[in-house]
Structure 1
């Protein structure tokens, strides 16, 4: 009986250790997800409010608006948020030109931006956004449901679709491959 009891205790010990290890890994993953969410929220806020993105740590990462990317090239360029509600978006009253001038300027900025990549160009757009976050970043949205707003493809992206390489869906894209 003691022999069987020792084996039972050994099995119980192994299962308990495995369970604890699993929970420890899950907690670490949860903390990573929470950390990533905090970073994304901080970046959203900084971009929406034009706060500097610089930190004390040196980095090869450069974040710029379409306007700030003029004259800059990079190995890998990511153009995010390419939806009609953001690009061209709504002309602000303080813009000195006409609606047509504004739209032409936005188109030129987008076209210049897609020529900034030396090796990899990633163009991304969301299909929908929460109504609260849309308002926070200044998007004017008119379609969708109570909590989510549908976003339309930017007409500028639509205009160049036939000239770009075949798109790879986000869930199957492997990222930039180092040389």
Structure 2
């Protein structure tokens, strides 16, 4: 019994050490990432049916923290963000809608075609893109904050924000 108690205690101590092993900046990033996905998804779900479908696709994204460097109040995290290839799918979407634009079919036809495209998209196996991002964080008033949020958001949306900027 005494021997078994030691093993249980040893396992407990091991789990405590592993659980406490992440740097504070990484914990803050992970919490911030999940909250960002939740907030964006929630806003999208308040929109039309197409927005709701896009929110479901967005929620399938993930991340992996590869390396963390912390020095005093600054941190750099090497992160790989995996997201649906929104650039590919939005390009396909625009190509599919081009005939409607050319023929001035009206708002109802546009909505119907959009809904049809995104319904089909949610049913198929999606292609994903992985983006490596160096996340810069700063400790402000005892809390870690992401400095380069635009880079993180671009990765979360699979490069779509960069593609939209290039389009303009």
What is the TM-score of this pair, normalised by structure 2?
0.26
More helix by share: 2
Higher relative contact order (CA 8 A, sep 6+): 2
Q: Which has the larger radius of gyration?
A: 1
What is the TM-score of this pair, normalised by structure 1?
0.24
